[in-house]
Amino acid sequence: MKGVFVHHTATVEKHANIGKGTKIWHYAHVREFCDIGKNSVLGHCGFVDTWVKIGDNVKMGNKVSVFRGVTIEDDVLVGPHVTFTNDLYPRSGGEWKIIKTLVRKGASIGANSTIICGVTIGSHAMVGGGSVVTKDIPDHGMVYGNPAKLKGFVCLCGDYLEHVKRGRTAVEMRCHRCRKTFKIGIQDYKKLER
């Protein structure tokens, strides 16, 4: 694996595909047949299961667990101790069914969050620390709590978006810090829990 840093205490199984510039830190475990893109980081004691797909420039903190069935797109931040599940009805024996989860480009997931399988976390969405995500999150959605609820929308810079103007199909919102504007679909906007 030319151009990849793997700490000497980490385990990277045969047939794992790891992109150039990626760093695998202390005691991490990367299973066979997973894909980790370029310039990504897997922190101390992190775990990436078989057939997981992780994009470029993904930063995963210490003790992150990413189980089979999860796809993480480019530029995602996964805070320390985040766990992705992959079975809605887990038992120690018998059959189990993998339920897929998708994290879209640019999303951020706060420390100690649990992502229940079967959800999509939208692009540039933000999950507050300690949340339990049980439902899909729209693009730019800000959620937190147990269960996580939609509380607002965030900019590419991560700051809150303010309501500017409501149209028939979308709500125009603007970041009060960098002043960029976005259109949030009316159906997503109506999901806000006030």
- Range(s) of the domain holding residue 28: 5-155
Residues in CB range of 160: below 8 A, 6 or more apart:
142, 152, 153, 154, 175, 176
Q: What is the phi-psi region of residue 181: left when phi exceeds 0, alpha when psi lies from -120 to 50, beta otherwise?
A: beta
Q: Identity (one letter) of the amino acid at 43? A: G
pLDDT tens for 94-144 read 788 999 999 999 999 999 999 999 999 999 999 999 999 999 999 999 999
164 in a structural domain: no
pLDDT tens for 145-180 read 999 999 999 999 999 999 999 999 999 999 989 999
112 in a structural domain: yes
CA distance 78 to 104: 12
Domain count, the chain: 1
162 in a structural domain: no
160 in a structural domain: no
71 in a structural domain: yes
117 in a structural domain: yes
138: domain CATH number? 2.160.10.10
